[in-house]
Amino acid sequence: MIEYAKKVIAAADLPILLEAFSSCAIENNRLGQVCAGTINRIMNHEPVGERYIMGLALAILDMDKREE
């Protein structure tokens, strides 16, 4: 399951997602704060816990699903 989550994140446009999640984080949205922080850690090649990877992947998939 974690490998699938990593593939979802690898296929995503992280700078665009960072902007979207950061915009939510400014308004004290906890999901936005966590996802923006996770994307920052990924982009800076810092270690990221599996639960954060899974959470980010699920948030990305949910956003994609809602766009359809």
Which string of b and e fits 18-44 if b means at least 16 CB within 10 Å? bebbbeebeeeeeebbbbbbbbebbee
- Domain with 47, as residue range(s), is 2-67
* pLDDT, one tens digit for every residue, the chain (68 residues): 788 899 999 988 999 999 999 999 999 999 999 999 999 999 999 999 999 999 999 999 998 888 76
User: What pLDDT score does 54 carry?
Assistant: 95
Total count of domains within the chain: 1
User: What pLDDT score does 44 carry?
Assistant: 96
Q: What is the pTM of this model?
A: 0.89
User: What pLDDT score does 19 carry?
Assistant: 95
Within 8 A by CB and 6+ apart from 41, the residues are 47, 48, 52
User: What pLDDT score does 67 carry?
Assistant: 73
